[in-house]
Chains A and B, each alone.
Chain A
Amino acid sequence: MTEAAFQLSGIVQTFPGVRALDGADLTIYPGEVHGLVGENGAGKSTIIKVLAGVYQPDEGRIEVGGSSVSPATPEKIRDAGIRFIHQELHLVPHFTVAESVFMGQEISGPFGLSKRKMRSRAEAFMRDELGTELPGNRLIRDLGPAERKLVQVARALVDGAAKVVVFDEPTAPLASEDVRTIMTAIARLKSRGIAILYVSHYLNEIIDICDRVTVFRQGKNVAVFDEVTKNTGSELVSAMIGRALDNFFPTTDRQPGEVSLRLAGYDDGKTFSDVHLDVRRGEIFGIAGLIGSGRDELIDALYGLRKSQGTLTLDGATLDTKTAAKAVANGMVLVPRDRRHDGLVLPMTVTENATLATLDENASFGLIDRKKARSATERLIKDLDIRPANALAVTRFLSGGNQQKVVLARWLAKSARIFIFDEPTVGVDVGAKAEIYQLIENLASQGAIIVMSSSDPVELVGTCDRVAVMMRGEVRTIIDKPDLNVDHLVAVTTGATTVSETAYAS
């Protein structure tokens, strides 16, 4: 076999309390496109940072082109010809293509910058190596997302010394037709003998372009596929998912009622379009989707945090949620994904946070009735089992799970009808997770309408009655309870199974 372009072996990387990599191996050969897949938290980004020299692993060897690099520093790795295309674009909007490509490696002559030379070299590189015609004097802010991505690629590779290129989720912000542009560029690089490590959640893309695939799970490589065919998709999915359905999900015989909440024609003109959803009373309705699927943006739009078109009706009557204040007034509340920034006022006490939305009820003539607010909060603390059971505790010092309960307490005090949960258990420990799921289940049993957006397939399968799967701004399918299992949900979410097959699945 030919010599590896780089080889990571036995990498162990620990962070306080977490063993992020636990003896992981990764080997890439010249001229291959190598896929790296795994669930969130499987250790993909950690091993990339180890390769980049950003993290110094506790154990393991890093070899580039047959010789060991120790310790690996970002400079040494760069000099060895390994380049990284970060997920974020990181470009200056008012720079030209040429200026962006040569940022940090400008060409200058005795009379200052050689703008003409940079422009022609940038254009030639884009044309010959990436297969795209892009005028070097165009401004970045006038480019589409795929073209911006290519500019980013050109910046990493224009010095011609690249041997290995790592693409981290290159297509996440792109529309389907733009993905092709990136794929063409990658195929060109491959034909020049450059090794490519392609990290993506989109399994359909992995199957399309990769020659080999490594699957990560819980900090280790659990499988390497030396051959990738159309049928590899389901094998990838089962290799990725090591977790069984945990038994901490609530059991229920709750039957959802009639369709109550209708979303029609939701469209923000950018990240999602043509979203129609019907949610029943007493139903927990899940929304799944990768980063870039428009899931986060849809939730924001639903709650009036993002401008969009579309109508929302509750039992046939229009529900105005054009601003968050109107949404709350109309009985729709959000438990946001970033509770520390958007959900809580961290320096305030549990009482102050829990009664933030119900100040009117706890006040007379504009003055807060502290006693009343306190007793209302104490009741909620008891109902939700918030620990410590101290209404005057400052929320900053509560654990993640208890912070989330305080956010929930605020809305319970408000007696809302529609609850939107956005990543309700991120950063929440297992015990508190089970309690939060039970609270959500109780709300649904009492007839509330629940929309739950999550990136955790296990959580969606464990709690939801139905799950809508979003991909590249569209709702691709809605999975009903009988078909709802983790393998199928992951396969659909990542594009490993196309939607047309869904009807026959399970």
Chain B
Amino acid sequence: MAETRTTCPYCGVGCGVLASADGTLRGDPEHPANRGRLCSKGTALGETLDQPGRLLHPEVDGKRASWDAALDAVAEGFRRALAEGGPQGTALYVSGQLLTEDYYAANKLAKGFLGTGNIDSNSRLCMASAVAGHRRAFGEDLVPGIYEDLELADLVVLVGSNLAWCHPILFQRLQAARAARPAMRLVVIDPRRTASCEGADLHLPIPPGCDVALFNTLLRHLHAQGFRSTAPGLAEAVAQADGDTGLDPAALATFLDWFATTPRTVTLFSQGANQSSAGTDKANAIINCHLLAGHIGQPGAGPFSITGQPNAMGGREVGALANTLAGHLDWAVPAEAAALRDYWQAPNLAAGPGLKAVDLFRAAGEGRIGALWVMATNPAISLPDAGRVREALRRTPCLVASDCTRESDTVDLARIRLPALGWGEKSGTVTNSERVISRQRAFRPAPGEARPDWWAIAQVAARLGWGEAFAWSGPAAIFREHAALTGLARPAARAFDISGLADLSDADYAAMPPTRWPVARRGEQGGRLAPPARFVATPFRPPANATSAEYPLALLTGRLRDQWHSMTRTGPVPRLMAHSPEPTAAIHPADAAGLPDGSLARLDSPWGSATLRLRHDPGIARGGVFVPMHWTARFAPAARINISVNPAVDPVSGQPELKHTPVRLGPAPMAWHGFLLARRSLGAELADWTALIPEGPGLWRHELAGGEAPAEAFARLRALVEEPDAAWVLLEDPAAGLHRAALVRDGRLLACLFLAPDPAGLPPRGWLAGLFAEAAIGSAARRALLAGTPADGPAPSPTLCVCHGVTAAVICSSIARGANTPALVGEATKAGTGCGSCRPEIAALLAATPVPEPA
């Protein structure tokens, strides 16, 4: 089958993918980011293509509508909002999932024609602080380094980055380089002992929000060691470089020494640094150190911001953030704004920055936004203080949502729903974290009435009377317009210049290979940058909301290895869900206040609360709690953590402080705990606490807990799955609160329901789930059903290697038989030989499992 060269839609690494229409795919060996590799999520992309719950036709007020009617309704909503509240009464909230061309069209509509700066992106949550830091240091948002620097470095410092899980391919490149060059060092700075720490030379468990103090300490150390720089601002930066890290002095000294003495040092930073009320300062504190030590602009050296989303960089390039203009043009330079006004022929060009995400939804909550168009993102779940955001969305008179899924918390709230193209259907470009522009190409037909986002934007613009400015024939035309715009700043020195691509023909565009900017002239290829830079003073500020006696713990949120954002794409894929099927709160055992591992715990903050499965994890620094940010009303309503997250933002970047919210931990008293395995999803509101888990083909697992009487819950839940001609196997011990049931028809298992007074009273789910695949379960299995385990089989074990379906137990037994390296484990079990995303976890098992002495 013919393969289409395209780009992965997940993280900011931007890996090349060769995809076929039937959903088979592999890594693109020619793409510079991945050279053929793919991670666990990328490998499973084929399974995300035919998802149930696609939005296939426009809807207005909950009813199916024609595109014409829906676009008319959008135009009418915006016209009314303009009339009632002026340009500032309209807004767009877009996403790093958009292609550059869609992004460009949205930004042009907002800033050029609606005349508002109120267009912000979910990139605000991701790397707005890095953008702001870059602009303060370099005068422009640019990442100086390239991925190769990670391989050429002698020291790689990860700051607030669980690279192993969040950017697995880059981590694998790094590990491969370290394997080839063992002298190369890896330092991880993170409040958590993450998978990225496996094999690291040093882990500094920094308290949340203290990175500025650490890099200020480093700056002082470098200065004391005699490092000097001619870049402006040094004296002030050193003078204000205060703060104490609370780290072990010896470990700290080691880090300071390694950084000072290793010219080829890359500091890679990500959300752990950015998502902070001092996120911009963190970026600058890091850049300051690289400037002073001279570790920048050289092979293997530099500060390196890595983005979370596939096209956060594209959004930054087109200026689709409330405080940027377009093409790295600067509002502060009147001539540049004027040049853009002329270029777009947009007399109403927004006069200045608009509302950044948190402020934007606050304004909506106050009734100041009459029309809001959300594209490819789920703010009802992803913004801090999400309960209030949900209210704001509810309150917005004309809420438009463009999405490929019908099943998102935000789409649920929208008045007008527009079906967007998904990955594999849309066509355009994305830019990855090393400034490489790659094509995303369609390899599947558009389903239903789904259309490109740029087209919907252009249609609305036309209805509002601006059709000429949006009369593109396709994404290539948009790209050319965008590329030409990046030359407008000349003669001002601006690194982001791709005007050399402004004359690509449609065929050139269709065939465009991965291209790193700047490309000022056709045929150029950008490389490592050494921009003029300045020091920025970054006096230490603690997180905005301090922990207290009432809220003594610091909540951090973040990603899991196999999930993506609000799970609309990855959630329904069983093998991705298998890695971490329930929403958890990880905490150091000493901070667990006596709550056992596996119990349900409640986290309360002054903003809200969430109930999660508690995991004891000695790898979490004392005083911290880590909760994944993925879960939504669709999968676990009580686990939506952003409801509890404080809405504090960085004063410069406006990025929310997702990595520090004061919370307290308490029990979540329940009358019963249980699970229901069924052949269909029964939703996520089955009980007071529900986690919905796609377990396998046609098999759904519902983890449950509730306050009602167990016998009542048992009867209610059984009634939900009852089917004609099916017979129950039942075990009931009402006095002990134990209720178990299995529903069988013609030897086929239809459902299993287990209730117990506490989670420890429930058997593992794996063996039971496996029985659903059997055409006819035997009598022995039938008898064992309610035990949840075969009479004398091994206990089920979690799957670590998603590619080959290898469980932790199998890996451990191979280790016990003498496989004492990841490579030998791979030979014995195939684990870790696919995408490699599980290798850090295999390494952790190797470290934890005693290996027999050779005979």
Q: Do A and B come from one complex?
A: no
